[in-house]
Structure 1
Amino acid sequence: MRTYADAGAEAGRHWRATITAAQAGDRQALDELVAGWLPLVYNIVGRALNGHADVDDVVQETMLRAVGNLGSLRDPDSFRSWLVAIAMRQIRDRARRRTATRLDESTAPEGAADFAELTVLRLQLEGQRREVAEAVRWLDDEDRQLLSLWWLEVAGELTRRELAAAVGISRQHAAVRVQRVKERLEVSRGIVRALDGACPDLREVTARFSGRPDSVWRKRLARHIRGCGYCGDTRENVVPAERLLVGIALVPVPVGFTLSLGLGGKSAVAAAGSASVGWSAKVLGALTKPAVAMTAGATLAAGGVYVAVQTPDDPPPRTAAVPTAASTTAEPPRPPAPAASPSASPSPSPSPSATKKKAVYGSVVDAVDTAPDPDTPPGALPHRPESGITSTGGAHAVMNHRGDAVTLSGQGYVLVRWQISPQYRAGSLVPPAWTGLEGRLFHVASGGGRRMDDPTSATDTTATGMGSAATGYAVLPAGTQQMWQNEYFYVDGSVTLTVNERGADYGVSVFPSTWDAVEKDILTGPPAGAGRYGLVRDTGGDDTPVPQYVTRDTPADPATVPQASRVPA
Structure 2
Amino acid sequence: MDGRQWRATIAAAQAGDRRALDELVEGWLPLVYNIVGRALNGHADVDDVVQETMLRAVDNLGSLRDPDSFRSWLVAIAMRQIRDRARRKSADRLTEDVAHDAADFAELTVLRLQLEGQRREVAEAVRWLDDEDRQLLSLWWLEVAGELSRRELADAVGINRQHAAVRVQRMKARLETARGIVRALDGACPELRELTGRWDGRPDSVWRKRFARHIRGCAYCAEPGRAVVPAERLLVGLALVPVPVGFTLSLVFGGKTAVAATATATTVGWSAKFLGALTQPAVAVTAGATFVAGGAYVVTQTPDAPPPRAAAPTAASTARLPSSTPSAPTPSVSPSSSPSPTRTKKADPYGTVVDAVDKAPDPDTEPAALPRRPASGVTSSGGAHATMNHRGDSVTLQGQGYVLVRWQISPQYRAGSLVMPSWTGLKGKLFHVASGGGRRMDDPVSSTDTSATGMGNATTGYAVLPSGTQQMWQNEYFYVDGEVTLTVNERGADYGLNVFPSTWDKVEEDVRSGPPDGTTRYGLVRDTGKDNAPVPQYLTRATPADPATVPQRSRV
Provide the TM-score with structure 2 as the length reference. 0.47
Provide the TM-score with structure 1 as the length reference. 0.46
